[in-house]
Amino acid sequence: MPKKFLGVCIVLAMVLSLLSVPASAQSKPIQISLFTPVQIFNENTPIGGLRINLIYGRNVSVTGFDWGLVNHTTTGISTGIQWGAVNLNDNHFTGWQDGVVNYTKGNAEGLQTGFVNYANYASGVQFGVVNYARSMKGLQIGLVNIIKQGGAFPVFPIVNWSF
C-alpha cells in the first residue's frame, strides 16, 4: 500500500471519527497523558476526539483517535482507531486496534492487527501471530488462531473462522 494512500486514509479516519463524536458536556476533545495520573483530565473523563499517551493513559472511554505506548480504557464503550504498543479495553471496542498486543475484555467489533489479539467476543477480522476469541463472527488470520466456542476449529493455524 503506498504511503501517500495510507496517509490519506489515516487523515480521513481521524476527521470522520471526530465528526461522529457525540456532543457531551462530560467528554473532552483532547487528552495528553505522560502516565496516569499525570494527564490533562482525570481517568474518569471520557475523551471524544484525540488522546495521546506518551507512556500510559487511562480513561473511561475514547471516541476518535487513541495513540500511545499503552492505551487503556475502562468502563465505557470506545470507538475509532487505537494505535499503540499495548491496547487495553476493559469493556467494548469498535473500530481498528493496531498494536503489539490488543486486549479487549468485552466485544471487539472491526479489525484487530497485532502480534497478539484477544477478545471475549470478536466480530470482524483478527490478523496477527496469535489470535484468540472466546466466540467470534468473522475471520482469524495468523500462526495460531483460537476460537473457543463456535469456530470452524477450536485451534487452527493460518486461518480460522466462525459465521
For residue 123, what pLDDT is reported? 98
For residue 93, what pLDDT is reported? 98
For residue 39, what pLDDT is reported? 98
Q: Which residue has the cell 495521546?
A: 52
Kindly state the cell numbers that stand for 105.
475484555
Tell me if 28 sits within 8 A of 45, measured CB to CB: yes
How confident is the model over 7-38, as pLDDT tens digits? 554 554 555 444 444 545 599 999 999 999 99
For residue 163, what pLDDT is reported? 92
For residue 134, what pLDDT is reported? 98
Give whole-number Cα distances, 47 to 8, 22, 71, 160, in Å: 24, 11, 12, 35
The Cβ of residue 80 has, within 10 Å, a number of other Cβ atoms equal to: 27
For residue 23, what pLDDT is reported? 41
How confident is the model over 64-104, as pLDDT tens digits? 999 999 999 999 999 999 999 999 999 999 999 999 999 99
Percentage of residues in the chain with pLDDT exceeding 90?
84
The sheet that has 62-73: what strands, in order across it? 38-39, 28-35, 47-59, 62-73, 78-89, 93-149, 155-162
Give whole-number Cα distances, 73 to 57, 60, 82, 87, in Å: 8, 5, 11, 8
The span from the CA of 121 to the CA of 103, in Å, is 11
Percentage of residues in the chain with pLDDT exceeding 70?
85
Give, rounded to a whole angstrom, the gap between the first and last alpha carbons of the chain: 29
Task: Evaluate if residue 131 carries a pLDDT over 70.
Answer: yes
In the structure, what pLDDT confidence band is assigned to residue 52 with cuts at 50, 70 and 90? very high
Task: Check residue 92 and report its DSSP letter.
Answer: -
The span from the CA of 162 to the CA of 46, in Å, is 33
CB within 8 Å of 42: residues ≥ 6 apart: none
For residue 21, what pLDDT is reported? 47
Question: Of residues 99 and 3, which shows the higher confidence score?
Answer: 99
